[in-house]
Amino acid sequence: MSPRTFCSQPGCPELVTAGRCSKHEKQIVRDSNNRHGAEDDRRFYNSTPWLRLRQIQIEAEPLCQHCLQMARTTPAEHVDHKVARKARPDRALDLDNLQSLCRSCHSRKTMREQDAGRRVIISGPPGSGKTTWVEKHAPDGSIVYDYDHILAAIVTGEYVKPSDPTRTDYSPHPKDLIPMMEAIRRGMIDWLESYTTARDLFIIMANTARSKTLAKQIGAECVVLRPRHRSLSRPAPQARPRTEKRLKPGENGG
Q: pLDDT tens-digit profile of 29-38?
A: 666 555 555 7
pTM of this prediction? 0.61
According to DSSP, residue 212 is labeled: H
Distance of CA 140 to the CA centre of its chain: 15
Length of the chain: 254
CA distances from 60 to 64, 70, 105, 191 (A): 11, 19, 18, 20
Quote the strand ranges of 33-148, DSSP E.
78-81, 98-101, 119-123, 143-145
pLDDT recorded at residue 104: 93
> Which amino acid type is present at position 54?
R
Q: Is 145 left (phi over 0), alpha (psi -120 to 50) or beta?
A: beta
According to DSSP, residue 232 is labeled: P
Residue 231 has pLDDT above 60, yes or no: no
pLDDT recorded at residue 1: 56
Residue 18 has pLDDT above 80, yes or no: no
Q: What's the chain's average pLDDT?
A: 81
Residue 236 has pLDDT above 60, yes or no: no
Least confident of 120-134, 156-170, 194-208, 213-227: 156-170
Residues whose CB falls within 8 Å of the CB of residue 199, separated by 6 or more in sequence, listed in order:
117, 141, 142, 143
The count of other CB atoms within 10 Å of the CB of residue 108 is 14
* Closest-CA residue to 79 (of 120, 118, 50, 39): 50
pLDDT above 90 as % of the chain = 39
Given a contact cutoff of 8 angstroms between Cβ atoms, the answer to whether 83 and 220 are in contact is: no
Q: Is 163 helix (H, G, I), strand (E, B) or coil?
A: coil
pLDDT recorded at residue 16: 78
> Which amino acid type is present at position 103?
R
Q: Using CA of residue 41, residue 43, residue 44, residue 47, what is the dihedral sign?
A: positive
Could you tell me whether strands 15-16 and 5-6 are parallel, antiparallel, or unpaired per DSSP bridges?
antiparallel
Q: Find the angle CA(38)-CA(41)-CA(47) to the nearest 5 degrees.
A: 145
Q: pLDDT tens-digit profile of 80-127?
A: 999 888 888 999 999 999 999 999 999 999 888 888 889 999 999 888
pLDDT recorded at residue 162: 53
Angle between helices 208-218 and 178-195 (to 10 degrees): 20
Beta-bridge partner residues of 221: 120
Q: pLDDT tens-digit profile of 145-198?
A: 998 888 878 887 665 555 555 555 555 567 788 899 889 999 998 888 888 888
